[in-house]
């Protein structure tokens, strides 16, 4: 279907075969004996070289072939004498689809900073770095679906517009059909949301979990994979206002089963990328090594492929929040007051603490469990001691929290108490509470932040560089 892609061509090339390539020009180089055009159609990190003889085409045509222009090249596949490629195209015909004036086209063949590329998000997929990231992102998304499909899970589509705050953290983007400059008001002067499209206040979802639980309590094993939205301060290298989340939810799974699934799943998708994205990972590994050349040897990070192998080949460390606090309190950086944030039992861990545990103490991914109830969401199942909940966070090197999950509170009375405790109106969650009245069952689930996974696998420092069109404060150009 469609033209032969460069990836296919390089894999199954037959010398002498006629070819037609539709692609963008990466570079053009003219020598005395030939004109070399490097073409890339985004199917692979590799370019194919097309070669014309001097004088074969008029100067006015050759002049229009510049970096960024788009061509159809017809020719014959021949053995390449140059180093770096085994085949090349001997050009017979060229058709120019679109030119790219070098005076104006921002992506010239030189190194551009990631900050600059973020400003031209509409063009950055044409760079080697971003096309590699986007192909890896695709492979990881495909692996997610494959993993769950192969393991008996059903893909459940949960709503984007919802009336609930799944995390109870109040970080929602409002959705309204009302004219907010002149909204309808009730007798007391309050905005009357009964006039709104949905007849009540709605927002963009922060998580598909609550609806996911409804699915699990009918289909046993489901997963969601969709965009989620958080109106939190997302000016960090690990937060976006719009990110994709994968949320499996399983009936009859306790915390231990949940941890086993999370570890198996995340290792599977990383292994999948290692097996299917070798060329792109290789490119990003070299890129990273290049970037780090100026750093002293012991400050450089582990080569990308080695880091990924290390994660898939070793069991994650599992310990409770209480045990982790003990380690942090006794740790050297604490004594020397090297942590910016104070740490004691009851505090929410900051990413410096998480990263200390993972990168300095255990030197591998860590699963922390049984957090204090006060710092976790209302839906998590209370432990017997009443002080902690059956929560689990998976922490990764360089990233911190990559997965957050828990066993869910399945007891109606206890859940209702928690709902009251955090000040949610039970009427707003009647449908959620009802599942604990009718055929309740132990169940568990978690959420994997997809961009944090892509960030880990690609080794990119900033989460804004692993999603095609990042949403962060003041970013919505289009
Ligand atoms: O820990 P969180 O907030 O958990 C939930 O939303 C649960 N409902 C998940 C569940 O149990 N089904 O978010 C889960 C994960 C985090 O571990 C992190 O990887 C990612 O989502 N995440 C973000 N990623 C990018 N930008 C943000 N602003 C994020 N907030 C959370
Ligand atoms: Mg969390």
**Residues 143 and 245 occupy one common structural domain:** yes
In the DSSP assignment, the letter for residue 185 is: B
Q: 226 CB less than 6 Å from ligand 1?
A: no
- Which residue's CA lies nearest to atom 22 of ligand 1? 449
**Residues 301 and 435 occupy one common structural domain:** yes
Q: What is the predicted pLDDT for the residue at 337? A: 61
**Residues 149 and 92 occupy one common structural domain:** no
Instruction: Give me the CATH number covering residue 283.
Output: 3.30.930.10
Is 246 contained in some domain?
A: yes
153-195 pLDDT, tens digit each: 999 999 999 998 888 777 899 999 999 999 999 999 999 998 8
Cα–Cα distance for residue pair 126/70, rounded to 1 Å? 12
High-pLDDT (> 70) share of the chain, %: 98
**Residues 141 and 94 occupy one common structural domain:** no
CB atoms within 10 A of CB 23: 23
Q: What string of DSSP letters covers 191-250?
A: B-GGGSTTSS-EEE-S-SHHHHHHHHHHHSEEEEEEEEE--S---STT--SEEEEEEEEE
**Residues 231 and 105 occupy one common structural domain:** no
Maximum C-alpha span of the chain: 85
Token pair in block for residue 103: 């005076």
Beta strand 391-396 pairing with 400-407:
antiparallel
Q: State which residues form the domain around 446.
A: 126-171+206-465
**Residues 149 and 283 occupy one common structural domain:** yes
394-413 pLDDT, tens digit each: 999 999 999 999 999 999 99
256-286 pLDDT, tens digit each: 999 999 999 999 999 999 999 999 999 999 9
CB atoms within 10 A of CB 430: 10
Instruction: Give me the CATH number covering residue 76.
Output: 2.40.50.140
Check pLDDT > 90 for residue 367. yes
Is 280 contained in some domain?
A: yes
Q: 407 CB less than 6 Å from ligand 1?
A: no
CB atoms within 10 A of CB 379: 23
Is 278 contained in some domain?
A: yes
Cα–Cα distance for residue pair 85/167, rounded to 1 Å? 52
pLDDT higher at 302 or 224: 224
Q: 451 CB less than 6 Å from ligand 1?
A: yes
Q: 391 CB less than 6 Å from ligand 1?
A: no
User: Which residues touch 346 (CB under 8 Å, ≥6 apart)?
Assistant: 372, 374, 375
Closest CA to 307 of 275, 332, 285: 285
| Spatial contact of 210 and 163, defined as CB atoms under 8 Å apart | no
- Which residue's CA lies nearest to atom 31 of ligand 1? 449
Is 472 contained in some domain?
A: no
| Spatial contact of 79 and 90, defined as CB atoms under 8 Å apart | no
Q: Which residue has the tokens 């004691």?
A: 344
H helix runs in 69-191, sequence order: 114-119, 128-150
**Residues 257 and 217 occupy one common structural domain:** yes
ipTM of this model? 0.99
Beta bridge partners of 18: 76
Q: 410 CB less than 6 Å from ligand 1?
A: no
**Residues 35 and 146 occupy one common structural domain:** no
290-336 pLDDT, tens digit each: 988 888 887 788 899 999 999 999 999 999 999 999 999 988 665 55
Cα–Cα distance for residue pair 161/199, rounded to 1 Å? 13
- CA of 416 relative to ligand 2 center, distance in Å: 22
- CA of 121 relative to ligand 1 center, distance in Å: 24
Is 286 contained in some domain?
A: yes
Is 63 contained in some domain?
A: yes
- The total domain count for the chain is 2
Q: What string of DSSP letters covers 326-393?
A: HHHHHSHHHHTT--SS---TTSPPPHHHHHIIIIIIISS-EEEE--BGGGS-TTBPBPTTSSBB-EEE
Ligand 1 atom closest to Cα of 206?
Answer: 6
**Residues 15 and 64 occupy one common structural domain:** yes
Check pLDDT > 90 for residue 353. yes
Is 277 contained in some domain?
A: yes
**Residues 103 and 77 occupy one common structural domain:** yes
Count of all residues that appear for the chain in the document:
478
In degrees to the nearest 10, what's the CA dihedral of 315, 316, 319, 325? 140
42-78 pLDDT, tens digit each: 999 999 999 999 999 999 999 999 999 999 999 999 9
**Residues 330 and 451 occupy one common structural domain:** yes
**Residues 301 and 428 occupy one common structural domain:** yes
């Amino acid at each position: 279907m469609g033209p032969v892609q460069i990836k296919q061509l390089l894999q199954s090339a037959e010398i002498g075969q006629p070819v037609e390539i539709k692609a963008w020009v990466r570079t053009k180089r003219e020598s005395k004996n030939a004109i070399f055009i490097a073409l890339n159609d985004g199917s692979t990190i590799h370019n194919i070289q097309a070669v014309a003889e001097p004088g074969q085409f008029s100067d006015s045509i050759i002049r229009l072939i510049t970096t960024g222009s788009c061509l159809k090249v017809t020719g014959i596949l021949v053995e390449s004498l140059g180093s770096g490629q085994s085949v090349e195209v001997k050009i017979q015909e060229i058709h120019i689809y679109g030119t790219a004036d070098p005076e104006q086209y921002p992506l010239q063949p030189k190194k551009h900073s990631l900050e600059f590329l973020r400003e031209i998000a509409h063009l950055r997929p044409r760079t080697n770095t971003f096309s590699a990231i986007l192909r890896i992102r695709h492979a990881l998304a495909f692996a997610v679906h494959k993993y769950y499909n192969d393991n008996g899970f059903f893909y459940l589509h949960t709503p984007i517009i919802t009336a609930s705050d799944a995390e109870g953290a109040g970080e929602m983007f409002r959705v309204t059909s009302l004219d907010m400059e002149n909204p309808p008001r009730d007798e007391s002067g309050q905005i009357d949301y009964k006039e709104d499209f949905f007849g009540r206040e709605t927002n963009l979802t922060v998580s598909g979990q609550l609806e996911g639980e409804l699915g699990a309590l009918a289909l046993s094993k489901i997963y969601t994979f969709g965009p989620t939205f958080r109106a939190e301060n997302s000016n960090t290298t690990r937060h976006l206002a719009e990110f994709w989340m994968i949320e499996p939810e399983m009936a009859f799974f306790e915390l231990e089963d949940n941890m086993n699934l999370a570890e198996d799943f995340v290792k599977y998708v990383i292994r999948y990328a290692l097996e299917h994205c070798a060329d792109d990972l290789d490119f990003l590994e070299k890129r990273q090594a290049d970037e780090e050349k100026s750093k002293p040897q012991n400050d450089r990070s582990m080569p990308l492929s080695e880091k990924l192998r290390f994660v898939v080949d070793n069991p994650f460390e599992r310990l409770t929040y209480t045990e982790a606090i003990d380690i942090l309190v006794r740790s050297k950086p604490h004594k020397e007051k090297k942590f910016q944030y104070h740490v004691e039992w009851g505090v929410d861990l900051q990413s410096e603490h998480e990263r200390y545990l993972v990168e300095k103490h255990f030197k591998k991914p860590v699963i922390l469990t049984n957090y204090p109830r006060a710092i976790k969401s209302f839906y998590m199942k209370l432990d017997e001691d009443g002080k902690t909940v059956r929560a689990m966070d998976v922490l990764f090197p360089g990233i911190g929290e990559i997965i957050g999950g828990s066993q869910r509170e399945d007891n109606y009375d206890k859940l209702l108490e928690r709902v009251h405790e955090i000040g949610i109106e039970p009427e707003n969650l009647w449908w959620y509470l009802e599942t604990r009245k009718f055929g309740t069952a132990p169940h568990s689930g978690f959420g994997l932040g997809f961009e944090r996974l892509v960030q880990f696998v690609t080794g990119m420092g900033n989460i804004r560089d692993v999603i095609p069109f990042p949403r962060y404060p003041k970013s919505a150009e289009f």
